[in-house]
Structure 1
Amino acid sequence: MSLPHRLILVRHGETDWNREGRLQGGQDIPLNDLGRRQAAEAAGRLKALEPAYAELDYIGSPMQRARETMDILRRELGLPEGGYVVEDRLRELTFGEWEGFTWRDVRKAEREQAQLRERDKWGFVPPGGESYRMLAERVRPVLEGLRRETVIVSHGGVARAVLALVGAVAPRDAARVDIWQGKLLVVTGDKAEWL
């Protein structure tokens, strides 16, 4: 699918679990101090990229780390508090029973499952979780419903799903793309670039 309008993706700022390398997924972990600074940095990048930032639509994940990022971003831009849509389908990919563990923990406790995931990161479903493929199908209707240029504040998994959906990256590769905190991932048509 090709987006008719530019999309600006912002991954939430860092949490303590990000710093520790823990799988957050569906866990509602708050930002840490660095994460709050990264949210402010993203606002500065948005202001430099798009002088008419007040005219854009804003949509965010309902998860605490994404909402806090959105609130900081909008405050830094001087936009009204709460002036954005919360979209449940933009929640992070869930890792099910693996949440709270590091990848090292998972590899040690469930070696075969971890190896299966490495062979097919896009299609693998962790115990009680979901695959990137499933996440992409959850996110697709959100993208199809965009009517104009939009800022989405969400998660690394959601950004990877978007990259695959628009054709900027092959699905098998999308699951391995680094998604940076504090930067903007700008998607235009089937192209994406970091700012």
Structure 2
Amino acid sequence: MQVVLHLVRHGVTRWNQERRYLGHEDQGVISGELERLAPLARRLQGMHWTRVYCSDLLRCRQTLRYLLTGNEVQSAALSGNTEALPLPGTVYDRRLRELHFGEWEGKTYEDLKGDPLYRRWIEDPAAVTPPGGESWEAFSSRIQHFLAGMHQDLSRSCGKDENGEAGGRSSQKTPDLLVVTHGGVIRQIAAATVPDTPFWSLRILPGEELRLKLAWNGQRWQGEIMS
């Protein structure tokens, strides 16, 4: 089984602009920023998606809705609108949330640089958990769980031939899957699936797309970066 995974980071939020840590805080995209995604939206709207997945947080729901429908929604911070209507067929998944930064949510590097625990976390995030936040082990585990679930979804829906065995669509076009999520999640998915790709080796800006071509090797997804 092979797939092309289109990973899109949500549009710009107020805390993104202010360079504050933004994990589970449910901010919307700044009004007007979604329009900057118009070139990507035009390309994505012309594609057929075998599966669409999205973080359940507002900034990702707003971004997805704009990308697939062209309908801009106002930022919760600016307009008080805290909803983006769900799109039929989309899986909104909590496992695609950003790392939870706990007490460091909303803080900047300048706010935290004098904290010895923060300095240790910068040096080795796998060894330190933000106070009240999420451990690196828990974060990477839920991303792995999502990836395994993605394989199960595809196997159930389109991966069986006439004999009920996997691979029945091998002669057809490689399925395209869209995932709208967060920068850390995109890095972690790439690090977990593409050999020799350290987490910090990728920089994905708000509104950018990373494409991966992945194959299931019997135990996990593995592949390469396309763009």
TM-score interval (norm. to shorter): 0.7 to 0.9
Greater Rg by CA: 2
Given that 2:9 and 2:205 are in contact with CA atoms closer than 8 Å, whether structure 1 keeps it comes out as: yes
Matching residue of 1:72: 66
In the alignment, structure 1 residue 129 sits paired with structure 2 residue 137: no
Map of 2:15 onto structure 1 = 17
For 1:191, the equivalent position in structure 2 comes to 224
Aligned length: 182
Match for residue 54 of structure 1 among 48, 59, 71: 48
Partner of 2:188: 161
Structure 1 unaligned spans of 5+? none
Q: TM-score, normalized by length of structure 1?
A: 0.83
Deviation for aligned residue 1:45: 4.1
Question: How big is the shift at 1:149?
Answer: 2.8
Q: How far apart in 2 are the matches of 1:133 and 1:177?
A: 20
Whether 2:179 is the aligned partner of 1:152: answer: yes
- Structure 1 pair 193/55, CA: closer, same or farther in 2 (3 Å)? closer
What is the distance in 2 between the residues matched to 1:85 and 1:127? 30
Paired with 2:41 and 2:68, the residues of 1 have a C-alpha distance of 7
CA–CA distance in structure 2, aligned partners of residues 34 and 106 of structure 1? 30
- What secondary structure is seen at the aligned counterpart in 1 of 2:6? strand
Identity %: 31
Q: Is 2:194–2:225's contact at 8 Å kept on the other side of the alignment?
A: no
Q: 1:118 — aligned with what?
A: 122
Query: For residues 19 and 48 of structure 2, what CA distance do their matches in structure 1 show?
Result: 35
- 1:34 and 1:181, CA in 2 relative to 1: closer, same or farther beyond 3 A? farther
Structure with the larger RCO, 1 or 2 (CA within 8 Å, 6+ apart) = 1
Aligned match of 1:85 in 84, 91, 103?
91
Higher helix proportion: 1
Q: What TM-score does the superposition give when structure 2 sets the normalisation length? A: 0.72
Moved over 4 A (4+): none
Take 1:96 and 1:25, find their aligned partners in 2: how far apart are those partners?
A: 8
Q: C-alpha distance in 1, partners of 2:105/2:112? A: 10
CA contact (8 A) 2:8 2:207 kept: yes
Distance (whole Å) between structure 2 residues aligned to residue 149 and residue 133 of structure 1: 29
Q: Which amino acid aligns with 1:156?
A: G
What is the distance in 1 between the residues matched to 2:195 and 2:126? Answer: 15
RMSD: 2.3
1:29 matches 2:17: no
The gaps in structure 2 that reach 5 residues or longer are 72-84, 155-174, 215-222
SS at match of 1:6: strand
Code of the residue aligned with 2:64 in structure 1: it is M
Q: What do the CA deviations read for 1:64-118 (whole angstroms, capped 9, x no partner)?
A: 00000011111139xx96121111111111100000111111113x1x1122112
- Write the distance in 2 (CA, Å) between the matches of 1:193 and 1:124: 32
Structure 2: which amino acid aligns with 1:116? R
Q: Which amino acid aligns with 1:137?
A: S
